[in-house]
Amino acid sequence: MLDKEKLVKRSQVKRAKFEILGEAGEDTQENENIYDDSDFYHHLLRELISSRTSITEEENLNEMRRRWLELKNLKTSTSAQKNVDRRASKGRKLRYVVHEKLVNFMFPITNYTTTTELTRQSLLKHLFE
């Protein structure tokens, strides 16, 4: 894959039967507007397969056992029961947060002494008219 010119020429070969829009009925095999990387893809695929099969069966089995044990340990550790109060659901237990005492809070003071007998009578009179 060191010869770049050769690789580019191999990717510009017309391998399927199709027509290129905008060009006359020329039936040339090489065209610079075509890009077909199937050779490169097959080469990479062969390398991947050869690298995967180069591992011996015993190493592969050991690796599978190790992964299986890791998954089993992970599953048992996550499936352990959590410390949860089961009676607290469905409204059986009140959940609340205690607030600190309010600072500088004062209830409104109503002045009840300003209400006289005359104002009370006029209020009642207007209500029932």
pLDDT in tens for each of the 129 residues of the chain? Answer: 567 788 788 888 887 777 777 777 666 777 787 888 888 888 888 888 777 666 666 677 788 888 888 888 877 766 566 677 777 778 788 888 888 887 788 887 777 666 678 888 888 888 887
pLDDT of residue 26: 66
At 13 the three-state DSSP class reads: strand
Question: 29 Cβ partners below 8 Å, 6+ apart?
Answer: 13, 14
pLDDT of residue 115: 67
DSSP structural state of residue 50 = H
If we measure between CA atoms, which residue out of 75, 4, 81, 83 comes closest to residue 40?
Answer: 4
pLDDT of residue 114: 65
pTM score: 0.34
Where are the domains positioned within the chain?
37-66
pLDDT of residue 85: 78
Structure tokens at 59: 């190493």
